[in-house]
Amino acid sequence: MKKKVIATMLTAAMTMSMLAGCGGSKDSAPAVTPAAENEPAAQETAQEPAPAGDSEASAEASGEAVTIKLFSNLPDRKNGQGLVEQKIIDEYMAENTNVTIEVEALDEEAYKTKFKAYAMDGMPDVVSIWGQPSFLDEVLDAGVLAELNEEDYLDYGFIAGSLEGFKKDGKLYGLPRNTDIMLFYYNQKMFDDNGWKVPATTDELLTLCADIQAAGITPVAMDGGDGWPMACFLTDIMVKVAGTGYADIVSNAIATGDFTAPEIK
């Protein structure tokens, strides 16, 4: 019973969040570089088999009380994504009065620490994970996530490649919840002084970067205080270069310590 309710709740949540999904292709404008592959996804954790057949239907008809534990990395439930997530949960419980969803929400670093503890002691029913091989592979190796049936989400409108970060060995374990939007800011005076044209495609950006570098100027710089923006940026480039198979390429490079694959170079 609980497993079926979780699946239904995921459907409600993902139907809302897919509206925030966006993506890029090789010739798309580089000013906006989405990184849906790297964002946490609502994820059902491994559960014991649910009752089947008449027993499940009977439980639903009787309004059996169900409690679902949801572990989120969005601690602010009054603003932004945390508010949206909480509204979806509240609306679901209002429509399904026999279901109680208990939310535990921590900030990112505390979330990662407790997630590892849960992986050893027993996971909540639904969790958020990052769609990166360095994070996902470790979780899957621990055997704490339930496989999802990809065919159930064919009509959700997910863009090509957005599910790949939540797969391993062709099996799906999570769904995108949202995406980050990353922007390039440029120095207009430098562009005017050097006669540079603002690029409209990725190919134009790469050509311009080569010209800027030839002039003895570092073409792109980012704040290195947090590592994840660089990871998102590099992943987006990998998607454009290697397509949907980028996750396997990165996983293999991390596992072997060999980063000489032509897609990476």
Read off the pLDDT of residues 151-165 as tens digits, 9 standing for 90 and up.
Answer: 999 998 888 778 887
Q: Kind of pairing, strands 66-72 and 99-105?
A: parallel
Same domain, 83 and 113: yes
pLDDT tens digit sequence for 196-205: 999 998 889 9
Residue 68 pLDDT grade (very low, low, confident, very high; cuts 50, 70, 90): very high
According to the model, what pLDDT value does residue 107 have? Answer: 92
According to the model, what pLDDT value does residue 8 have? Answer: 44
User: Are the CB atoms for 159 and 77 separated by under 8 Å?
Assistant: no
Q: Which of 180, 205, 230 is the last residue of a domain?
A: 180
Same domain, 122 and 219: no
Calpha distance 40→130 (Å, rounded): 4
For residue 204, is it within any domain?
Answer: yes
Mean pLDDT of 126-134: 78
According to the model, what pLDDT value does residue 29 have? Answer: 33
Q: Is the pLDDT of residue 134 over 90?
A: no
For residue 85, is it within any domain?
Answer: yes
According to the model, what pLDDT value does residue 251 have? Answer: 78
The percentage of the chain sitting over the pLDDT mark of 90, rounded to a whole number, equals 33
pLDDT tens digit sequence for 215-254: 999 998 887 677 667 777 777 777 777 776 777 887 788 7
For residue 100, is it within any domain?
Answer: yes
Domain range for 231 = 182-256
Q: Which of 154, 180, 206 is the last residue of a domain?
A: 180
| N- to C-terminal Cα separation, the chain | 49
Residue 45 pLDDT grade (very low, low, confident, very high; cuts 50, 70, 90): low
Angle in degrees, 0-180, between the axes of helices 246-256 and 228-242, rounded to the nearest 10: 120
Sequence-ordered list of residues with C-beta below 8 angstroms from that of 145, at least 6 positions apart, any chain: 43, 44, 45, 46, 123, 129, 139, 173, 174
Residue 53 pLDDT grade (very low, low, confident, very high; cuts 50, 70, 90): very low
For residue 152, is it within any domain?
Answer: yes
For residue 264, is it within any domain?
Answer: no
Same domain, 223 and 236: yes
Instruction: Give helix then strand counts, H and E, for the chain.
Output: 9, 9
Q: Return the number of other C-beta atoms located less than 10 Å from residue 176's C-beta.
A: 25
Q: Which of 152, 180, 208 is the last residue of a domain?
A: 180
Same domain, 193 and 126: no
Same domain, 109 and 197: no
Residue 83 pLDDT grade (very low, low, confident, very high; cuts 50, 70, 90): very high
Same domain, 64 and 142: yes
Residue 261 pLDDT grade (very low, low, confident, very high; cuts 50, 70, 90): confident
What DSSP character marks residue 26? Answer: T
According to the model, what pLDDT value does residue 28 have? Answer: 34
Pinpoint the alpha helices (H) of the chain.
2-17, 54-61, 80-95, 108-121, 133-141, 188-194, 202-214, 228-242, 246-256
According to the model, what pLDDT value does residue 39 have? Answer: 52
For residue 107, is it within any domain?
Answer: yes
Residue 136 pLDDT grade (very low, low, confident, very high; cuts 50, 70, 90): confident
Calpha distance 82→73 (Å, rounded): 9
According to the model, what pLDDT value does residue 14 have? Answer: 39
Domain count, the chain: 2
